[in-house]
Amino acid sequence: MEEQLQLYVTELFAVEDPILAAIRARHVAENLPPIHISPDEGKLLHVLLRAIEATTVLEVGSLGGYSGVWIARALPPHGRLTTIEKDPRHASLARRAFSEAGLSNRVRVVEGAALDVLPTLAPGFDAVFVDADKEPLAQYYEWSMRLLRPGGLLLCDNSFFHGAAVDAADVTPAAQGVRAFNKLAAADPRLVATIVPVRDGLLVGLKVGE
Ligand code: DHB
Ligand code: MG
């Protein structure tokens, strides 16, 4: 989206409160990679989760907890976000973010590599948001579909991956992972999906079959 239009959407619909602004500022202060989602993307996740009345969400890749706050705020008080983070420093900053947002009782940060943690989780999630390393995305796809309930939402960040999605010359493992995830989602008869061109692309899919 053109930058000015993104700003227009953000200022109308996705203004951050001081808590979100502080979490974002901390990414800079703590030298976290500047790859968290944008406020307009956060608001889209929030609306989608409210639309399906999600109570349980799985996130792969917590980073500093910014997306997690947008997600957890979409859940009812008894809801639960389970978010997986392999970097201990990121996990600790994410926990701090959830605590500051008053969401600690609604969020479980699981420290570990996603491919180690995913097999330990019980299926039945209302939504899965994949926003982690890109190389294993095909494996994250299969785990997400296994853990989603029928009628659940599959969400994945960076579907465009800075244009690498359409750059066949980019054969880096990350670019191949992104393209593999998109292809799997497009071809899977269990899923009705598309990519919303917000920020770096958000894949949105509805699981319609087991
Ligand atoms: C990058 C961006 C992301 O949003 C992400 O989840 C991972 C990597 C990047 O720009 O490299
Ligand atoms: Mg991302």
Tell me the per-residue pLDDT of 155-168, one tens digit each, with 9 for 90 and over.
999 999 999 999 99
CA 57 to chain CA mean position, Å: 10
Find the 35 Cα to ligand 2 centroid distance in Å.
Answer: 6
- Which band of pLDDT confidence, cut at 50, 70 and 90, is reported for residue 5? very high
Of the candidates 108, 66, 100, the residue with the CA atom closest to the CA atom of residue 83 = 108
Confidence (pLDDT) at 210: 87
* Ligand 1, CB cutoff 6 Å, lining residues: 35, 131, 157-158, 200
Is the pLDDT reported for residue 2 higher than 90? Answer: no
Return residues with CB closer than 5 A to ligand 2 (ion): 131, 157-158
Residue nearest to atom 3 of ligand 1 (CA): 35
Q: Give the bridge partners for 84, in sequence order.
A: 60, 110
Indicate the top mutation candidate among 32, 35, 67 to test ligand 1's pocket, ranked by most ligand atoms within 8 A of CB: 35
Task: Kindly give the number of the ligand 1 atom that is closest to the alpha carbon of 36.
Answer: 4
Residue nearest to atom 10 of ligand 1 (CA): 35
- Distance CA(184)–CA(199), nearest Å, equals 21
Residue nearest to atom 8 of ligand 1 (CA): 35
Tens of pLDDT, residue by residue over 67-126, are 999 999 999 999 999 999 999 999 999 999 999 999 999 999 999 999 999 999 999 999
Confidence (pLDDT) at 1: 61
Residue nearest to atom 2 of ligand 1 (CA): 35
pTM comes to: 0.98
- Distance CA(183)–CA(203), nearest Å, equals 11
Indicate the top mutation candidate among 59, 200, 203 to test ligand 1's pocket, ranked by most ligand atoms within 8 A of CB: 200
Tens of pLDDT, residue by residue over 180-200, are 999 999 999 999 999 999 999
Enter the DSSP assignment of 62: -
Question: Strands, E, within 24-178: which ranges?
Answer: 56-60, 80-85, 107-111, 125-130, 148-157
